[in-house]
Amino acid sequence: MLFYLVRHGQTDWNRAGKIQGTTDIPLNETGRQQAEQLATVLKERSGYPAKTRIDAVYASPLARAFQTAEILAKEGKLPLRRLTGLRERDFGCWEGKSWQQVEAEYPDEFHLWREQPMVGIPSGGESRKSCEARSERAIRQILEETAGDAVIVAHGGILVFLMNYLLRFHREPQEIIVANASLSVVSYDRSTGMGKLLALNETGTLEQQPIR
């Protein structure tokens, strides 16, 4: 099966460089335009609705991701499902601040976060271990529920955890940066648990030929 992994479109906090976490910030106008363009990209890649094998669009319940997913689902006339496990990591007291502010106000936490990401936890926030665990539960639920392909609309960190899980037999986990309204594609063999990365961080590349 194919997983189409999508990061939500831009918000005002993205543009301002603020940490969003679980703070529920909606898409701005640029973000909506990005999502509409991405719907065309996804249509080119998957061939939906005429040739689709996509069963559903799964989305984080946070507005910026769910609004992006609504645009994609509407274009492909696909079922849209909220999945709580796909919500962004809770950044606690860091939310609403820039990374520069966090470094100045929480220097010890910030440097531990940068140097030992498996150990560092934002003040009042969620551990990486907890976030990775619920991301894995979410992808397992999607595998149980779907017979065909799936679109997942979530957040930058969550998508990295999902890719690391799907590609776990091919490479060591990596830190990957994915842009707003970007598309990454993973081919996954249910029988072996092996995944293969087919596309990473594509944005508005309408001239490319569909993978399928």
Q: Which of 29, 44, 70, 88 is catalytic?
A: 88
Active-site annotation holds for 170: no
Copy the structure tokens of residue 150: 């799936």
Query: Which residue reads 């998508």 in tokens?
Result: 159
Q: For 29, phi and psi rounded to 5 degrees?
A: -65, -40
Active-site annotation holds for 8: yes
Buried-state track 115-138, b at ≥16 Cβ within 10 A, e below 16: eeeeebbbeebbebeebbebbbeb
CB-based contacts of 171, cutoff 8 Å, min separation 6: none
Q: Which of 8, 75, 109, 126 is catalytic?
A: 8
Q: How far apart are CA 53 and CA 46, in angstroms?
A: 8
User: Is 176 strand, coil or helix?
Assistant: coil
User: Is 96 strand, coil or helix?
Assistant: coil
Query: Which residue reads 């640029």 in tokens?
Result: 30
Which residues are marked as active site?
8, 88
